[in-house]
Amino acid sequence: MRGESVVVVGAGQAGCQVAVSLREQGHRGPITLIGDEQAAPYQRPPLTKAYLAGETDLAGLVLRQDSYYEDHGIKLVRGERVIGVDRQARVAVLGCARTISYDHLVFATGARPRPLPIPGAEHVLNLRTVADADAIRQRLDGQIGLDVVVIGGGFIGLEFAAVVRKLRHEVTVVEAQPQVMQRAVSAETAQHLVNRHRSEGVQILTGTGVAAVREGLVELADGTVLVADLVVAGIGVIPNTEVAQRAGLTVDNGIVVDAHLGTVDPRVYAVGDCARFASTHAGGLIRLESVQNATDQGTTVAAAIMGSAEPYTALPWFWSDQYDVKLQTAGLTNGHDRTVTVGDPAEGRFSVFCFKNDRLIGIEAYNRPIDFLMGRRILEGGNSLTPEIVAQPGFDLRASQQKAA
């Protein structure tokens, strides 16, 4: 297997990690990494933060320098889209009609912004790619006091709102759900984020959707009309699965893979945002959109191609930077039925321990990085923390683990 050819469809974080891990694990065969953007593989999270704020440029986002791909014999194909895969002939078909043969193929096609099904959606910008960020920066550069409306109160929407507010623009966030980041964090953590944004002058409206967008205006479902010089949406993504589906692979809100991230075709895999896998942490099939998931799955698939397949069991974790807040979460806290808060929320330093059926399933650390790091260790190693233990006066996670050791 060390000499077989590998084609990776998609040159984002997951796809790049597959190629890098293959070489690190001793693969000597041809590796082709195909991306539909002209830019070399780059980090997406800084697009809503440092890149948008002008604190870094594209060169500061790239995952590897061009020389890396040349030195390691990885053929990087830029600005090309794979439009088909013939599994019987083992070839990938590019939009230019060129074909590339493979012994193993990895789908790392990522996802695209979910479209807004409303009148005037053409006036709304997304923030997924460098090109998207450049278009937004062009609208903001040299301006102060623009009225900016953000549709969606998830990670992207809130991070974008924080940066735009620091650039001295007026910001309103509209979230259709009763709570921002409803599928990602607890109500306690969400409310503290809302309070932090409001303390900076950001208006956050929850429980109402957007009915229409017109030139300079956003009409909400409750009849409210907002002035808007710029409208940006962050309402989630749709996995790019069309090519995989046409190739006869199983697709269900993602390309369905097994414990080793393989599809029904033993020579085809899927990783990252486009892959739907069985997670012991979620208790069923799940699709995750995070750097951790992308890189860990890329490494796992490389090992499988090299003949050292291991089940993918990595603990999910996430982070978000908003103003002076570093929110770090370990585990999947959605679906919890009890929380215990440790620390001092009034000082903006606390952690929310999330339990389900009295079992710890995740920790949300709000400016408490030690709790995040130790929480990951506990959740990865099997934990015995109960709500009663955590709720004890003066509970300290580090001290409790030192005692346990």
Q: pLDDT of 261-296, one tens digit each? A: 999 999 999 999 999 999 989 989 999 999 999 999
The type of residue at 190 is: A
Top pLDDT among 326 and 334 is at 326
Query: Looking at residue 402, what is its pLDDT?
Result: 59
Query: Looking at residue 117, what is its pLDDT?
Result: 94
Residue with tokens 């891990």: 21
Query: Looking at residue 11, what is its pLDDT?
Result: 98
pTM of the model: 0.95
The type of residue at 246 is: R
- Give which of 103, 95, 88 is closest to 34, Cα–Cα: 95
Residues 6+ apart with CB under 8 A from 278: 258, 259, 284, 285, 286
CATH number (1.10.443.10, 3.50.50.60, 3.30.43.10, 2.40.100.10) of 6-112+238-306 reads 3.50.50.60
Query: Looking at residue 118, what is its pLDDT?
Result: 97
What's the DSSP call for residue 316? P
* Whole-number Å distance between alpha carbons of 180 and 251: 29
* Whole-number Å distance between alpha carbons of 378 and 337: 20
Residues 6+ apart with CB under 8 A from 70: none
Query: Looking at residue 396, what is its pLDDT?
Result: 84
CATH code at 115-233 = 3.50.50.60
Q: Where are the domains of the chain?
A: 6-112+238-306, 115-233, 324-403
357: left (phi over 0), alpha (psi -120 to 50) or beta: left
* Whole-number Å distance between alpha carbons of 149 and 204: 10
Residue 54 clears pLDDT 60, i.e. is over it: yes
Residue 404 clears pLDDT 60, i.e. is over it: no
Interior angle at CA 111, CA 106 and CA 112, nearest 5: 145
Residues 6+ apart with CB under 8 A from 98: none
Residue 397 clears pLDDT 90, i.e. is over it: no
Residue with tokens 């889209």: 81
Report the b/e string of 89-110 with b at 16+ CB within 10 A. ebbbbbeeeeebebebbbbbbb
The stretch 225-238 carries a mean pLDDT of 97
* Whole-number Å distance between alpha carbons of 334 and 355: 10
Helix (H) or strand (E) holding 326: strand 325-331
E strands along 140-206, which residues? 147-151, 170-175, 203-206
Number of Cβ atoms within 10 Å of the Cβ of 307: 9
Secondary-structure class of domain 324-403 per CATH: alpha beta
Residue 398 clears pLDDT 90, i.e. is over it: no
Q: Are 366 and 192 in contact (CB under 8 A)?
A: yes
pLDDT range class, residue 3, cuts 50, 70, 90: confident
pLDDT range class, residue 382, cuts 50, 70, 90: confident
Query: Looking at residue 403, what is its pLDDT?
Result: 59
Query: Looking at residue 384, what is its pLDDT?
Result: 74
Q: pLDDT of 368-378, one tens digit each? A: 999 999 999 99
73: left (phi over 0), alpha (psi -120 to 50) or beta: left
Query: Looking at residue 381, what is its pLDDT?
Result: 85
Q: Are 23 and 72 in contact (CB under 8 A)?
A: yes
* Whole-number Å distance between alpha carbons of 298 and 13: 8
pLDDT range class, residue 217, cuts 50, 70, 90: very high
Report the b/e string of 342-364 with b at 16+ CB within 10 A. bbebeebebbbbbbbeeebbbbb
Number of Cβ atoms within 10 Å of the Cβ of 85: 24
The SS3 assignment for 155 reads: helix
The SS3 assignment for 344 reads: strand
What's the DSSP call for residue 251? B
Q: pLDDT of 94-150, one tens digit each? A: 999 999 999 999 999 999 999 999 999 999 999 999 999 999 999 999 899 999 999
Could you check whether 6-112+238-306 and 324-403 share the same CATH topology?
A: no
